[in-house]
Each structure stands twice: as C-alpha cells, then as structure tokens.
Amino acid sequence: MKRIAVFTSGGDAPGMNAHVRAVERVGEKRGLEVIGIIGGYAGMMAGHYEVLDRIRTANILDRGGTVLKTSRSPEFLLPEGRAKAAEQLRAHGIDGVIACGGDGTFHGAHELWLEHGIPIVGTPGTIDNDLWGTDTTIGYDTAINTAAEAIDKIRDTADSHGRLFFIEVMGRHAGFIAMDVGIACGAEFVAVPETLTDVEVLYQRIVAQGLDKRTIVIVGEGDELGGAVELSKQIEERYGLGSKVTILGHIQRGGSPSVRDRVLGARLGAAAVDALLEGASDVMIGIASNEIVRVPLHQTWEQRKTVPPYLVELSTLLV
C-alpha cells in the first residue's frame, strides 16, 4: 500500500480536521502518500482529489467544520454512482480509503467494498453519537458543550421571567445530546426518541415546579410527538399554558472542537491508517473503554445504540 485517501461525508462535526491532520501526519511517517477527497462521495465521483502534506494540514486543529468539505450524494446511492467512484479511485492510484462520517457514510463504504473491493475503513464522525460499537463519536463532546452553553443562557432569562421554555436539540434517531445536556443543565423534563413522551406527566412536572417559576424542557428533535414546537402546542391546547420555543439547530455543529474531540479525531485517524496497512477493510475504527476497536461496518447500523436506561432514570431523580 503506497497511496491512501481520506474524506469526510454527511454532516460535519468538530474534530474532523484533527482527524484529517492525523491521517496525513501518520500516513507520511508510515511511508504513504495521503490524498484528500474534496466534497465527500460527490467529490469522489467527480475526481476532486488533492495531495495532503504538512503545509496543507497545518493550523487546522482548532477549526470547526471540515477542510475537505462534505456533501450528501443521491447519485452515490445508485450502483452506477459507486462504479464511477471506484473508477476514479483506481485512476488516482488509491490503495485504501478512510471514510469519516456517520450512518450514511458507512453504508456507502460498505457497498463500495462489497461491489468493487476497494479497501476502506470508517471512522465515526457525527455529533449525534448514534453509531453502535463506539463509546463516542468525533464531534459529540463539542456539540453537547455548545448546546449546554446556549441552554445555560436561556435558563438565565427563563428564570428572570418565570417562563416555560421548550429547547430542541439535534438527534433524529438517538437522544444522547438531549439527555446529556438535560442532566447537565438541570432541565425539569427531557424528551428523547428512546422513550414515549407522556404529556400529562410533563404537565405535572411543570405544575410541581410552579407555574410562575422557570421550567426548562429539553426535546430531542426525533421525539415521537414531533419536537419542541409540537410539544409546546400540546401543552397550550390541553392546559392553556403559554411557552417559549428555542430550536438550537446547526449551532451545535459549528465552533472550535473541544480538546476531547481533537484527541479523539487524532487517535482514530492514526488507528485508521494502521488498520489499512494491516489489511483491514469494511470495519469502523471506534473506541470502547478508552481502547481502539475495530467493528464490522454493518454492525454499526444493524445494532441500535440508545440512551442507557440509567440516564433516563437519573434525569427524573434529579428534578
């Protein structure tokens, strides 16, 4: 193996640049030429490849987003698109690929390996922390700290006015962000996709807090009742209680990565290079109990990673 490529795909996550930098630095020291694919799978198909070196990857550790850019590519979902990508990889002499992203990225990597035999390993880059087989993902730590900082500020004004606030955080399929920031910020109620939200229980929690007191409700966007806006409407229609709604949205994806995410990105990047050199493919390079692990890609989506029940219980005990 002489030349490898790295790309970022799907939603951007703080720490991806630390990951790219580690792949380049470790790859160089292992005697490899490292190529950056610009723009995810779309760039892979279009032939947007550039050589990475120490200069290209300098001073990117503290930058949010991804210097390699990212995209979502409907074309790559088709066999014809994947064939085009494989043709480009071979034309550029790529011997192995490191794919940093989430569930969709890993599906694509798995298909590329099965259909075209391109050696490829995945690294978990998503703020949702929803990939099975790894304790945490690149970007998650930064995202929860960003969300917690915003919620702390909202809590100040909610306390001053004695208002009910519904605050929606990201997490379509998993409530890790919602649960962690809910506990960290002292929310009176946390709604996550893993549990059914009982509006009557929520109302009783608001009453217990005091109708003239500050009440913070954290809602994961994947909640089965439809998110913060819908929960707010139901509370108003059933019980006549007005509220304020804040949707934190993409603020959770941006910003300078935390130390934890920089170190995690570096560890996973270095381990991914070594995995390719050792002949591994179709696996995710993750972390479990602070040790690097290799997990078959298909297991990362076939087995669902959910918020632990003890955290759900803790969020109610702390109210």
3-state secondary structure the chain: CCEEEEEECCCCCCCHHHHHHHHHHHHHHCCCEEEEECCHHHHHHHCCEEEECCCCCCCCCCCCCCCCCCCCCHHHHCHHHHHHHHHHHHHCCCCEEEEEECHHHHHHHHHHHHHHCCCEEEEEECCCCCCCCCCCCECHHHHHHHHHHHHHHHHHHHHHHCCEEEEEECCCCCCHHHHHHHHHCCCCEEECCCCCCCHHHHHHHHHHHCCCCCEEEEEECCCCCCCHHHHHHHHHHHHCCCCEEEECHHHHCCCCCCHHHHHHHHHHHHHHHHHHHCCCCCEEEEEECCEEEEEEHHHHHHCCCCCCHHHHHHHHHCC
Residues 160 and 57 placed together within one structural domain of the fold: no
Residues 195 and 147 placed together within one structural domain of the fold: yes
Average pLDDT value over all residues in the chain: 96
Q: What is the pLDDT of residue 286?
A: 98
Query: Is residue 72 pLDDT above 90, yes or no?
Result: no
Are the C-beta atoms of 170 and 127 separated by less than 8 Å? yes
Is 319 within the bounds of a domain? no
Q: What is the pLDDT of residue 172?
A: 86
Other CB atoms within 10 A of residue 261 CB: 29
Q: Judge whether 128 counts as a catalytic residue.
A: yes
Which class for 141: exposed (0-12), middle (13-18), buried (19 or more C-beta within 10 A)?
A: buried
Confidence of residue 86 (pLDDT cuts 50, 70, 90): very high
CA 65 vs CA 56, 177, 225: distances in Å = 16, 19, 31
Is 264 within the bounds of a domain? yes
Query: Is residue 249 pLDDT above 90, yes or no?
Result: yes
Is 315 within the bounds of a domain? no
Domain boundary among 194, 228, 253: 253
Residues 123 and 194 placed together within one structural domain of the fold: no
Q: What is the pLDDT of residue 244?
A: 97
Query: 10-27, pLDDT tens digit by residue?
Result: 999 999 999 999 999 999
Confidence of residue 79 (pLDDT cuts 50, 70, 90): very high
Residues 281 and 158 placed together within one structural domain of the fold: no
Is 99 within the bounds of a domain? yes
* Whole-number CA gyration radius for the chain: 21
Which class for 259: exposed (0-12), middle (13-18), buried (19 or more C-beta within 10 A)?
A: exposed
Q: Which of 12, 62, 103, 128 is catalytic?
A: 128
Residues 48 and 190 placed together within one structural domain of the fold: no
Is 318 within the bounds of a domain? no
Query: 114-173, pLDDT tens digit by residue?
Result: 999 999 999 999 999 999 999 999 999 999 999 999 999 999 999 999 999 999 999 988
Q: What is the pLDDT of residue 274?
A: 98
Range of the domain at 132: 3-139+257-302
Is 317 within the bounds of a domain? no
Any idea what the CATH number is for the domain that residue 88 is in?
3.40.50.450
Q: Please tell me the total count of domains within the chain.
A: 2
Residues 87 and 26 placed together within one structural domain of the fold: yes
Strands 120-124 and 215-220 turn out to be unpaired
Residues 264 and 130 placed together within one structural domain of the fold: yes
Residues 108 and 149 placed together within one structural domain of the fold: no
Residues 14 and 115 placed together within one structural domain of the fold: yes
Q: What is the dihedral of CA 138, 143, 148, 151, to 10 degrees?
A: -160
Query: Is residue 319 pLDDT above 90, yes or no?
Result: no
Q: What is the pLDDT of residue 302?
A: 96
